[in-house]
Structure 1
Amino acid sequence: MAAAVVTAVLAVVVAGQVEDGGDATAQARASEVPHRGPDAASRSDSRPTPDGGAAVPLSYEEKMARRYPLDANAHGSGDFGTVGGHDAAPGKGEVLRYRVDVEKGLPLDGGLFAEAVHRTLNDERSWGHGGVRTFERVSSGPSDFVITLASPGTTATWCAKSGLDTTEDNVSCDSAATDRVMINAYRWAQGAQTYGDDMHSYRQMLINHEVGHRLGHDHETCEAQGALAPVMMQQTKFLTTDGRTCRPNPWPHPGR
C-alpha cells in the first residue's frame, strides 16, 4: 500500500450507501492524476509471455477481473486529484457531465477507474438506456457531479457530511448534500461476498448503484425468487429479502 495511506482501526458500524461531498478547498488542493499514469496497481498489470519474453500488458477486461490489495481500515490523505483527459458523451439525450477524482496516495489505478466509470455509464444497459441520457467525462470546467474513489476512512468522512454512515459494512454512498458520488476504494479493490469472484460485474454495480442515487433512485428489494436483483438493491450487503433470493445484477436495464 502506498505510504500515503495510513491504516487505522475504524469502528465497524453497518450503514447504507452514503453520499460524499466535495468542497472548493479540497478541489483547489487537487492536482491532476494522469489518465493512464503508472501507480502501484498498474505497474504490475502485465503478464509474462509463455516463452519468457517481454511482459504483455493486461487488457481492460483482465484488469477489471482482478482484486487489488487494500486494507479494510485504510484512511487516506483526504486530498483528491482529478483524472486528466476527456471522454466524449457517445449517446443521445440529456448530456450529464461528470469529473473523476481519486484520493491521493491510493495504490490503485486511477486511469482504470475512470475508464470503468465511462464504459459502465454509457453502456446501453445503464442509465442512458433508450437514449434518455448520455455521460461525458470532463477534467476541468463545470460538472454535474464528481465520482470519487476514496479510502474507507475518507469515504466515511465525506458521506457523514450528508448524514450517512458507511462504516458498517464498509460501503459506498452518494453524498446528496455535496457534488460527490463516493466509491469506497476497499470495495472497489476487494469486492463483496455477494458477487464472489466476479469483480468486473461488482464494480459495474457499484458505479450504477451510486450514480442511480444521484439520479434520484431509492433502494429496492428482491421481489421474486431467482430473479435478477434490482441494481438499486443493496447488493454489497445482501441478495435476499423476506426469504426471496435474487441473482447478482449490475445493470438498471439488463435486458433479461
Structure 2
Amino acid sequence: MRPVTAVPYLAGVCLAATTVVALDVGMEARPATVAWPSSGVVPSTSSSPPSAERSAPSVDTFRSGADLPAGPAFPEHGAGTWHVVPPSGKPGASGVTYAVEVEDGVVLPHGDDSFAAVVDHVLRHPRGWAGRHAFRRVGGDVEPELRIRLTSQRTARSLCGFELPYDTSCRIGSTVHLSTARWFRGAHTYGDDLRGYRVYAVNHEVGHFLGLGHEVCPEDGAPAPVMMQQTLSVDNDGLASITTGSDQGVVVVPDGKACTPNPWP
C-alpha cells in the first residue's frame, strides 16, 4: 500500500505498488505479468485467510484489520486480462469516463453486474466524489480515463506489491485494482459491514486517481478520513506499527489517536 510514480492525468499516489510496477498496466488488453518474489511473503494457494498460515496474530493485529478476516471462498486466480462489464442505459453527457471491468476467470455468485452496481452507486452518491467530480460510465467501445477492475487475489498481490504481507487493493496509473480477497471478506476494521468496506475501497482508490495521498487519524474518536489506510488500521498507533519501514506516502505518528471506520469522503 505504498505510492508509485504519478501519472500525467490527475496524478496521485497509489495505495499499493512495488517499485518494479512503474507503468500503467491497465491501458492495454494484454495479460498482466504476474511476478512472484524470490523471497518474502507469497500468498497461499488455499482459500484460508493468510493469518491462519502465520503465527496467531495478536489482538492489536485484529484490531488494526491488517489480516484478512475469515469468511467465504473467493477467486484466487485469474487470467491477467480483463473484460468490460457493459453499462445499461445511456451514458451521462459529461464527466470523467470510467469503465468497470472484471478479470477473466473471476466468477461472481451474482454476476459481473453485482460488482458494477456497487461501483456505480459509489461514484454517483452525493456523499462520495460525485459531490466534487462528475463521472460517466462507458463501455468497451470507448477508451476510458479511469478503469475500475475486480482483480483476483494473486494478480492483485503481484501488481499491488509484496512490501506489506497483507491483501490490499491499489491504483496504478489510471487503473484501480480491487482485490477479490478484500471484496469478498472486507477488513477487521469494518467487522460485518462488508458493504461499507466495499464503498470505502472504491472511494479510497478513486481518491488516489483524483490526486489524493494517504492521511492519518486527525482526532481521537473522529470518523477516519477516506484516504486513511483503513484496511490496515483506523488508529495511528496500529497504522504506524504495521507500516514501519515502508514508504506509504505519509508520516504516521503513534500518538494514540483512534478513529472510527468511515467509507465516504
For Structure 1 versus Structure 2, the TM-score category normalised by the shorter chain is 0.5 to 0.7
Contact 1:146–1:180 at 8 Å: present in 2 too? yes
What is the match of residue 174 of structure 1?
171
Is the alpha carbon distance of 1:171 and 1:87 closer, same or farther for their aligned partners in structure 2, counting shifts above 3 Å? farther
| d(CA) in 2 for partners of 1:87, 1:156 | 34
Is the alpha carbon distance of 1:167 and 1:78 closer, same or farther for their aligned partners in structure 2, counting shifts above 3 Å? farther
Describe the superposition over 1:168-202 as per-residue Cα deviations: whole angstroms up to 9, x where unpaired.
Answer: 211000002xx311101110011110000001110
**In structure 2, which of residues 194, 197, 210 is the aligned counterpart of residue 199 of structure 1?**
194
Amino acid at match of 2:25: G
1:133-152 equivalent positions in 2, closer than 5 A: 133-140=133-140, 141-152=142-153
Q: TM-score, normalising length from structure 1? A: 0.67
| d(CA) in 1 for partners of 2:191, 2:134 | 30
Is the alpha carbon distance of 1:24 and 1:233 closer, same or farther for their aligned partners in structure 2, counting shifts above 3 Å? same
Amino acid at match of 2:231: T
Identity of aligned residues (%): 36
Structure 1 residue 25, shift from structure 2 partner? 3.8
1:11-90 equivalent positions in 2, closer than 5 A: 15-16=1-2, 17-18=15-16, 21-26=25-30, 68-70=72-74, 74-86=76-88
Structure 1 counterpart SS, 2:102: strand
What is the match of residue 228 of structure 1?
223
Q: TM-score, normalising length from structure 2? A: 0.65
**Structure 1 consecutive aligned stretches of length 4 or more whose deviation exceeds 3 Å:** 86-90, 164-167
Q: Structure 2: 5+ residue runs without aligned partners?
A: 3-14, 18-23, 32-70, 237-253
The number of residue pairs the alignment matches comes to 187
Amino acid at match of 1:81: H
What is the match of residue 251 of structure 1?
264
What is the match of residue 128 of structure 2?
126
What is the match of residue 44 of structure 1?
none
Higher strand share: 1
| d(CA) in 1 for partners of 2:150, 2:163 | 14
Please provide the CA RMSD for this pair. 2.2
Amino acid at match of 1:147: I
| d(CA) in 2 for partners of 1:174, 1:95 | 20
Question: Are 1:106 and 2:106 counterparts?
Answer: yes
| d(CA) in 2 for partners of 1:148, 1:87 | 20
